[in-house]
Structure 1
Amino acid sequence: MDGKTRLGDFLQARRSQLRPEDVGAPTYGERRRVPGLRREELALLAGVSTSYYTRLEQGQSLSASPDVLDAIAGALRLDESERRYLHDLARVGRQRARGRRPAPERVTEAMRQLLDVLGDVPAIVLGGRSDVLAWNRLGHALFAGHLAPGAPDLPAQRPNMARLVFLDCHVRDLYADWPSKARAVVGNLRLVAARQPQDAALHALLGELSAKSAEFASMWADHRIQACTVADYEMRHPLVGPLTVVQQTLSSGPGPVVVVATTETGSPSRAALALLAQATSEATTRAGLSSDAARTRPRAGRD
């Protein structure tokens, strides 16, 4: 799908989600064949001609200025994230799309030091496509304790949070309000897709999720944008039970981000997280002792 099609699909989807009463447009009691605003009504709200807006929605015109895009964003009642997304779609639509091999994503030394410092706080490093590039011990235990601890270090086995949320029953069961988490994942992927329209690996991921999850396909077709830098989630952890965490995304610019999960001081959730930390620490200690014993166990000699 090229930039022109994505722009047109986004405009059409968001226009259909606006009702005339949402924007004060008169209906005169008439019955409408399709939901949402008509093109001429949206064009009037944006201060552009109906023919121009129609060409824009049909992908026949990609010359919209930033001011016109802002006017359309205002008419569609877009928030700031959605407004930036609209501008990104218009920008890439004017460029010649060409698939390319994405650059490898790496965890910087500064990020590894941060993971070490955040020893008592669950933390993971996510790439642009939601690949898990690294996690600390507690981050692994909270988000994907059923996976091998060293999975992020092996590109062939590297977990992907979008896949986990939609296709892994363990991670799906973690979230009491799974649809909210799922919509956040889809909204973030849509923002990334607009910024990186030539990322072949990202488009392969989107195709895989659409084919394997009807829920993902439905949410993707909804064209909702959601930039979740901070969000509360009620989790149901198999080891420590229910807890509520605040997931925060820490970013210093383009590239991988660090996602941390914090809990309220003195809350049952903080106690549950401390219990999880204790359990994983004891498990790590037992594993280390078993490994040491195996290395030092004397071998039977030959007769």
Structure 2
Amino acid sequence: MENSLGDFLRSRRSRIQPEEVGLPGHGRRRVPGLRREEVAQLAGVSVDYYVRLEQGRGGSASDAVLDAVARVLRLDDVEAAHLRSLARPPKPSAAASSARGRQQVRAGTRLLLDMMAGVPAFVLGRRMEVLAWNGLADAVHGYSSRPGGGDPNAARQVFLDPAAREFYVQWEAVAAETVAYLRRDAGLHPEDARLSALVGELSVRSEEFRRLWADHQVREKTHGVKLIRHPLVGELDFGYETLGVNGSPEQLLVAFTAPAGSPTAQKLALLASWTADGSPARVE
């Protein structure tokens, strides 16, 4: 049985060298990084309690204990929140239960996508499912012409689409970000069977996914850059912003941006001219 909490804690302590926290680093060590005894000492808890925490038998750990462990392991805010989710799994709610299937996009959100005609924009839901998109996002990503049909999923596209390594100029970075975002989702929804099935599918079919999943990185999707090699117009250098959709829990509106007059903006205008047929935002 998977012990996500223990695996996460071990992965985080393995990256910290004793010298970094004022401990002697000489002597032979069987594993890299800090020992469990050293984490317990620095966090001010008993070794027995910390061992039980790593084994998933720590009960309902207090905020003080989890904050102390997060400090010792130098977790950032996202990692610390992930630690709390693993140590104290959220209780399923009615809203969470309804989100176990494919989420629905409000009519008003779909209309907003349609009105953003000059901006590639889409709605990303749980499990990195692409729930809706506008014409320009379709022109960039090809959601409506994906091989094999089926619901579009950003994680499947990154790891299972043979064209993904050519499409994403920085594929390795995109792959790592994708897995880290899925890890966070898994911590928030440990009972999600659809997410478990997705992780299982990707683990079986992609060696790169298995390697990255075992690294236990966690990350939110906020903003950044995305370099795309489009089959028709060549390289596109985007920024992207993600905005929460109020009233629709765990849906993000993702918009790609390019400075006015830039080569990417000019290529977007060309793509927009090819899709200027009034097609509404596609929803699957």
Query: Which region of structure 1 is more displaced relative to structure 2, 258-267 or 184-193?
Result: 258-267
Would you say 1:127 and 2:117 are equivalent positions?
A: no
Q: State the distance in 2 between where 1:55 and 1:161 align.
A: 37
Tell me, what secondary structure is at the counterpart of 1:129? helix
CA contact (8 A) 1:15 1:36 kept: yes
Query: Which region of structure 1 is more displaced relative to structure 2, 37-46 or 244-253?
Result: 244-253
Tell me, what secondary structure is at the counterpart of 1:92? coil
Mark the CA change 1:146 to 1:22 in structure 2 (over 3 Å): closer, same or farther: farther
Q: How is 1:25-104 mapped onto 2 (pairs within 5 angstroms)?
A: 25-27=23-25, 29-92=26-89, 102-104=100-102
Would you say 1:245 and 2:238 are equivalent positions?
A: yes
Report how far residue 17 of structure 1 moved. Answer: 1.7
CA contact (8 A) 2:245 2:253 kept: no
Q: How is 1:218-257 mapped onto 2 (pairs within 5 angstroms)?
A: 218-253=211-246, 254-257=249-252
Of 201, 207, 225, the match for 1:208: 201
Q: For the pair shown, which has the larger CA radius of gyration, 1 or 2?
A: 1
Report how far residue 145 of structure 1 moved. Answer: 5.7
CA contact (8 A) 2:90 2:188 kept: no
Alignment gaps of 5+ in structure 1: 288-303
Report how far residue 146 of structure 1 moved. Answer: 7.2
Q: State the distance in 2 between where 1:59 and 1:148 align.
A: 41
Tell me, what secondary structure is at the counterpart of 2:27? coil
Q: State the distance in 2 between where 1:128 and 1:104 align.
A: 8
Q: State the distance in 2 between where 1:73 and 1:132 align.
A: 33
Report how far residue 148 of structure 1 moved. Answer: 5.5
Q: Aligned-pair RMSD on alpha carbons?
A: 2.4
Counterpart amino acid of residue 59 in structure 1 = G
Tell me, what secondary structure is at the counterpart of 2:45? coil
Query: Which region of structure 1 is more displaced relative to structure 2, 122-131 or 169-178?
Result: 169-178
CA contact (8 A) 1:69 1:86 kept: yes
Kindly provide the CA deviation profile for residues 149-171 of structure 1, in whole angstroms up to 9, marking residues without a partner as x. Answer: 9x9xxxx7111111001110223
**How many percent identity over aligned positions?**
48
Q: State the distance in 1 between where 2:62 and 2:71 align.
A: 14
Alignment gaps of 5+ in structure 2: 280-284
CA contact (8 A) 1:164 1:172 kept: no
Q: Which residue pairs with 1:297 in the alignment? A: none
Counterpart amino acid of residue 40 in structure 1 = E
CA contact (8 A) 2:104 2:131 kept: yes
Report how far residue 67 of structure 1 moved. Answer: 1.3
Kindly provide the CA deviation profile for residues 103-154 of structure 1, in whole angstroms up to 9, marking residues without a partner as x. Answer: 44101012111101111100111221111211101101112267259x9xxx
Q: Which residue pairs with 2:17 in the alignment? A: 19
Q: Which residue pairs with 2:256 in the alignment? A: 261
Q: State the distance in 1 between where 2:197 and 2:127 align.
A: 10
Higher relative contact order (CA closer than 8 Å, sequence separation 6+): 2
CA contact (8 A) 1:183 1:226 kept: no
Report how far residue 195 of structure 1 moved. Answer: 1.1
Normalising by structure 2, report the TM-score: 0.88
Query: Which region of structure 1 is more displaced relative to structure 2, 73-82 or 32-41?
Result: 32-41
Counterpart amino acid of residue 224 in structure 1 = Q
Normalising by structure 1, report the TM-score: 0.83
Counterpart amino acid of residue 69 in structure 2 = I
Report how far residue 265 of structure 1 moved. Answer: 2.6
Counterpart amino acid of residue 247 in structure 1 = Y
Tell me, what secondary structure is at the counterpart of 1:34? coil
Q: Which residue pairs with 2:160 in the alignment? A: 167
